[in-house]
């Protein structure tokens, strides 16, 4: 397993300066965000020359693009917003080969119109599940057209808010282009922290073979939480990392929800934990 980081953790005036900061922290993998190259996260257009430049700048520094960020609200109540997201997803998927990645991070959306990572009472309804499935089918058509993988994350604030629902979605969609981003800090509904090991164990039993990317952050409580830097909260990292290893995962563990000032400490924390496996 390789330690990586959200590239946008480092706010710099140029792409090269962002990548130099990644290297300075001893890292060789990122989840890339096009904001690091002066574009919106989900742009309306990506010039081929820019994609080539990004790939070449990363290769020159020995950095791999483990994934590119492509999350948007696939069930946004405003259909104009929703269709703009799908249009931009196609733009991003078309650029992936030149960027040097085949994985786009994704999510299953929320009925909350204001914030992608906030829950809504309707998220759990059968109607919303059907709407999400229809939207996911549209997204997977795009993924198949460009031979990329959508790596969605079970997240307590989204429609797929548990490992069980993630397994259900995988089984229903039956697509080789749909895989999982696992984040141990995003799996606990209110009152579930005392069952941390049980919930983590179940997640890896259900999803272990489908994981293509792992996130590393922490949580100070359950519910809509998981916004702290890795090692600063309550997540049982020894167990989380052991489950990742036992699942056969050998990809990137991506740090996020941290400030640049916390980066060195979080990298060292993960290195220590991984050395004990």
For 146-174, the pLDDT digits (tens) are 999 999 999 999 999 999 999 999 999 99
- Rounded Cα gap, residues 247 and 224, in angstroms: 26
Torsion of CA 258, 252, 58, 48, to 10 degrees: -100
Q: Give the pLDDT of residue 224.
A: 81
- Rounded Cα gap, residues 137 and 141, in angstroms: 6
Task: Check whether 107 has a pLDDT greater than 90.
Answer: yes
- Rounded Cα gap, residues 186 and 204, in angstroms: 14
Classify residue 99 as exposed, middle or buried by CB count within 10 Å of its CB (0-12, 13-18, 19+): buried
pTM of this structure? 0.97
Q: Give the pLDDT of residue 223.
A: 82
- Rounded Cα gap, residues 195 and 188, in angstroms: 9
Q: Chain-wide mean pLDDT for the chain?
A: 97
- Rounded Cα gap, residues 53 and 19, in angstroms: 12
| Half-sphere exposure of residue 6: CA atoms within 13 angstroms, side-chain side | 21
Beta carbons within 10 angstroms of residue 271's beta carbon: 11
Q: Give the pLDDT of residue 145.
A: 98
What CATH number should be reported for the domain whose range is 2-275?
A: 3.20.20.150
Residue 68 φ then ψ, to 5°: -120, 140
| Cβ 27 vs Cβ 4: under 8 Å | yes
The string of pLDDT tens digits covering residues 222-261 is 888 778 999 999 999 999 999 999 999 999 999 999 999 9
Per-domain boundaries in the chain: 2-275
Q: Give the pLDDT of residue 225.
A: 76
Residue 211 φ then ψ, to 5°: -80, 125
Expressed in angstroms, the distance from the first to the final Cα of the chain is 11
% residues pLDDT > 70 (the chain): 100
For residues 196-205, average pLDDT:
98
Angle between helices 126-146 and 79-99 in degrees, nearest 10: 30
Q: Give the pLDDT of residue 51.
A: 98
- Closest by alpha carbon to 182, among 249, 92, 121? 249
Q: Give the pLDDT of residue 203.
A: 98
The string of pLDDT tens digits covering residues 118-154 is 999 999 999 999 999 999 999 999 999 999 999 999 9
Residue 214 φ then ψ, to 5°: -125, 140
């Amino acid at each position: 397993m390789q330690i990586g980081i959200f590239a946008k953790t480092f706010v710099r005036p140029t792409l090269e300066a962002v990548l130099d900061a990644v290297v300075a922290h001893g890292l060789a993998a990122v989840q890339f965000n096009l904001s690091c190259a002066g574009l919106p996260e989900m742009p309306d257009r990506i010039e081929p020359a820019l994609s080539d430049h990004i790939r070449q700048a990363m290769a020159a520094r020995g950095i791999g693009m483990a994934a590119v960020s492509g999350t948007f609200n696939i069930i946004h109540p405003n259909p104009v917003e929703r269709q703009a997201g799908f249009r931009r997803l196609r733009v991003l998927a078309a650029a992936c080969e030149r960027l040097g990645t085949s994985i786009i991070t994704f999510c299953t959306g929320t009925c909350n119109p204001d914030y992608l990572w906030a829950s809504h009472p309707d998220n759990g309804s059968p109607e919303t599940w059907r709407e999400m499935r229809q939207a996911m089918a549209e997204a997977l058509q795009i993924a198949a057209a460009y031979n990329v993988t959508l790596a969605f994350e079970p997240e307590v604030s989204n429609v797929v808010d548990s490992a069980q629902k993630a397994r259900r979605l995988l089984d229903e969609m039956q697509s080789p282009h749909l895989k999982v981003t696992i984040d141990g800090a995003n799996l606990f509904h209110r009152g579930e922290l005392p069952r941390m090991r049980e919930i983590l164990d179940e997640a890896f039993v259900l999803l272990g073979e489908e994981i293509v990317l792992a996130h590393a952050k922490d949580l100070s409580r359950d519910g809509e939480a998981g916004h702290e830097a890795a090692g600063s909260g309550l997540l049982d990292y020894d167990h989380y990392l052991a489950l990742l290893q036992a699942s056969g995962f050998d990809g990137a563990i991506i740090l996020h929800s941290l400030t640049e000032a916390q980066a060195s400490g979080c990298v060292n924390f993960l290195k220590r934990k991984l050395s004990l496996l």
